């Protein structure tokens, strides 16, 4: 959900009063659970909040903080990430992050984390009217500070945002993005987390379509497999082409990450029965196995919580790391 879509749902005390509410009614609605407090003086209807993904809930918090803020700080880190539409993969920020170059002492609040760091004008943009760090600076900060699972999800998604042109993949844009990130990292020698950022930048691959695919790749490499190819092409019937999420070439196997609702979403999009979608997927899988003579494993969110859990899932398909 974007800032423009979410902003009308985040209501201040003043806007509620102007809309005919009373302070007593606001307090009563909060106690009854009809209104949820985003931060002091900002609210969202419980019915609206219930439909929000965690990233959108943090974005609501960001919107409320920005409305109350003054000065030259820019949104940064995870808070800039949600403005850019990047996934946070199970990372649940409790505070809004802002960065400033001010050399004087500044304080953070109970729901705002302020960072003092170099912030050149080239690292700041206005996105949907909000002063925030650029996509490149945001990803650099995230790779330095987030757990690896969340960091790779953000890094992959940002690269995909840069490279994907409707259905075309802009390889030149990818290489330019990677060169720019490498230069940024090289210039930050000695900064906190820069070694982690360097490793993550080298690992990132925008061909991952979902955070679950990004984390799957991370866990697979942790298990000792070579880094898998993403969206691996397999010749299909009638001259068509299938694409498999991950190709584990070192063990002659394929892997498919099935996100929640994948088949239901496809059925709704295409307007066909779910049973037909499942049948077509089984036929696709049988074709891939039969023509490539490779094993094919499927897993979901519950299988990528750790390398060990994914290893157990892969073993059930007789897929183990190379010796």
pTM score of the predicted model: 0.90
Cα separation of 316 and 299, whole Å? 11
Is residue 179 within 8 Å of 171, Cβ to Cβ?
Answer: no
How sure is the predictor about 190, in pLDDT bands with cuts at 50, 70 and 90? confident
pLDDT of residue 277: 74
Q: Among 52-56, 196-200, 237-241, 243-247, where is mean pLDDT lowest?
A: 237-241
Q: Average pLDDT in the 168-194 region?
A: 95
How sure is the predictor about 16, in pLDDT bands with cuts at 50, 70 and 90? very high
pLDDT of residue 104: 52
How sure is the predictor about 323, in pLDDT bands with cuts at 50, 70 and 90? confident
pLDDT tens digits, 92-145: 999 999 999 876 555 567 899 999 999 999 999 999 999 999 999 999 999 999
Higher pLDDT, 323 or 27: 27
């Amino acid at each position: 959900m974007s800032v423009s879509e979410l902003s009308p749902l985040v209501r201040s005390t003043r806007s509620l009063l102007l809309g005919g509410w009373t302070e007593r009614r606001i307090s009563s609605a909060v106690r009854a659970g009809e209104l949820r407090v985003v931060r002091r003086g900002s609210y969202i209807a419980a019915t609206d909040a219930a439909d929000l993904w965690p990233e959108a809930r943090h974005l609501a918090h960001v919107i409320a903080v920005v409305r109350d803020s003054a000065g030259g700080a820019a949104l940064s880190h995870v808070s800039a990430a949600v403005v850019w539409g990047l996934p946070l993969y199970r990372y649940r920020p409790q505070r809004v992050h802002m960065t400033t170059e001010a050399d004087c002492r500044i304080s953070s609040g109970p729901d705002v984390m302020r960072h003092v760091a170099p912030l050149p004008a080239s690292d700041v943009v206005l996105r949907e009217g909000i002063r925030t760090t650029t996509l490149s600076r945001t990803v650099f900060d995230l790779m330095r500070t987030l757990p690896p699972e969340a960091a790779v999800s953000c890094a992959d998604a940002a690269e995909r945002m840069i490279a994907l042109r409707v259905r075309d993949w802009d390889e030149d844009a990818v290489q330019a993005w990677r060169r720019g990130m490498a230069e940024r990292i090289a210039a930050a020698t000695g900064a906190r987390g820069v070694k982690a950022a360097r490793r993550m930048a080298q690992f990132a691959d925008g061909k991952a379509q979902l955070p679950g695919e990004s984390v799957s790749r991370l866990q697979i490499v942790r298990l000792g497999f070579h880094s898998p190819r993403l969206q691996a092409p397999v010749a299909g019937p009638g001259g068509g082409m299938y694409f498999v999420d991950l190709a584990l070439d070192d063990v002659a196997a394929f892997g498919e990450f099935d996100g929640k609702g994948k088949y239901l979403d496809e059925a709704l999009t295409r307007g066909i029965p779910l049973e037909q979608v499942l049948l077509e997927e089984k036929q696709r899988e049988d074709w891939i196995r039969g023509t490539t003579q490779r094993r094919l494993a499927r897993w979901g969110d519950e299988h990528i919580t750790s390398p060990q859990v994914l290893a157990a899932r892969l073993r059930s398909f007789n897929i183990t790391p190379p010796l």
